[in-house]
Amino acid sequence: MTGEARRPRARDLGIRIGTMATGPLNAITDVPGVRVGHATIIEGDGPLRVGTGPIRSGVTVLIPHGGDVWREPVFAASHVLNGNGEMTGLEWVREAGMLGGAVAITNTHSVGVVRDALVTEGIRSQPPGAFFWSLPIVGETWDGVLNDTDGMHVKPEHVVAALAGARSGPVAEGNVGGGTGMICHEFKGGIGTASRRLAATDGAWTVGVLVQANYGHRRLLRIDGVPVGAEIGVDQVPSPYGPESPGEATWNAPEAPPASQARERDGSIIIIVATDAPLIPTQCARVAQRAGLGLARAGSFGATTSGDIFLCFANGNLAVPQPENRGPGPGVSTVRLLRDQALDPIFEATVEATEEAIVNALVAAETMTGRDGLTAHRLPHDRLREVMARFGRLHD
């Protein structure tokens, strides 16, 4: 399992999101060819010393298909719900509708080194002297509450390790990879994943989602429609941001909280959607947009200081020629695409899988103490089950 022990998931607790069938693993790796790898860095305790630690960070990588991802692009598109964040390489995705290479997610101040490491690994994968270029996709969320983010501890060797460890099969969730230091709805957050398998009459396509969840106010968290954040308030499980609860005393005060505090409380999320359906870029864009509906169901409104950036890629059309590859003949390639009406089940699958991936990130995450003794507590499983049962949404 990408080098990490399996942690509990929503369905282990009796929580089922939506009505569609999951894939066998209920993970993005249910999409054929997709692999995931993590490199996790946890070092030191105590007061922050920039450049030394404590370190609570890492990097997560996704491999889009089973071939040469550096030379064989897939169709892709992005959607930005709120843009206070970064994902490199999107200009070319928007221009050409193609994704080439691995995708990575890390912390805000490590985007550059991860991007450069992906370029280096792409070069290494090619024959000596071969012409090669890459504009890799690297997304980020801020882990500075728990991590020495300014110390930039993610190094090229961590990217190499994550790539080498990328596997199909179950995906480690919670405090792993890029999600190591992340916070979600004022609980410990991180990496989460889920999938949906369409009915045979709808094409039997698979839709998989992976999130790096680092956003949200406690009071807004909803799971399967249940107001879990209101039921498990900061009086029961403390917020890592201090005793005041956003949306109550702090948010309603005459003066807004400091910008740094607002940034920490609003946070960000990266959502990656993968499918084996034969989608073209405009259809990928429509699917990426639907990830925002799953995010909204979990309790986000896309705050001003939140970076909510989504990417959808579809590996149902392989052998898509690279733009610089002229090839013989008149330059015509044949691709498949779904009729637009056939997209509706994929939209539904994306919404359900996104919501469940976020819940899996929360359920799998474990309490973590980081710099300066700040602690992000996990979502307590027993209390969560009590709340879900009281609202009639627990399935044992």
CA-closest candidate to residue 181, choices 376, 26, 14: 376
Report the C-alpha gap between 178 and 271 in whole angstroms: 13
Q: Which residue pairs from 121-127 have beta carbons closer than 8 angstroms and sit at least 24 positions apart in sequence?
A: 121/159, 121/160, 121/163, 122/70, 125/68, 125/70, 126/70, 126/71
Are 152 and 110 in contact by the 8 Å Cβ rule? The answer is: yes
> Which one of 306, 340, 372, 382 is the catalytic residue?
306
> Which one of 308, 333, 382, 396 is the catalytic residue?
308
β partners of residue 75 = 98, 314
Which regions of 22-73 does DSSP assign to beta strands (E)? 35-43, 55-63
Are 24 and 176 in contact by the 8 Å Cβ rule? The answer is: no
> Which one of 78, 110, 268, 300 is the catalytic residue?
268
Burial class of residue 376, CB neighbours in 10 A (0-12, 13-18, 19+): buried
- Asked about 308 being catalytic, the answer comes back as yes
Report the C-alpha gap between 151 and 80 in whole angstroms: 28
The backbone region for 143, taken as left when phi is positive above 0, alpha when psi lies in -120 to 50, beta otherwise, is alpha
3-class DSSP state of 118? helix
- Scan for tokens 């994550």, then name that residue: 162
Q: What is the DSSP letter of 157?
A: H
CA-closest candidate to residue 220, choices 307, 303, 300, 305: 300
Report the C-alpha gap between 31 and 15 in whole angstroms: 23
Q: What is the DSSP letter of 342?
A: G
Q: What is the DSSP letter of 312?
A: E
- Both ends of the chain: CA-CA distance in Å? 26
Q: Which residues are catalytic?
A: 268, 306, 308
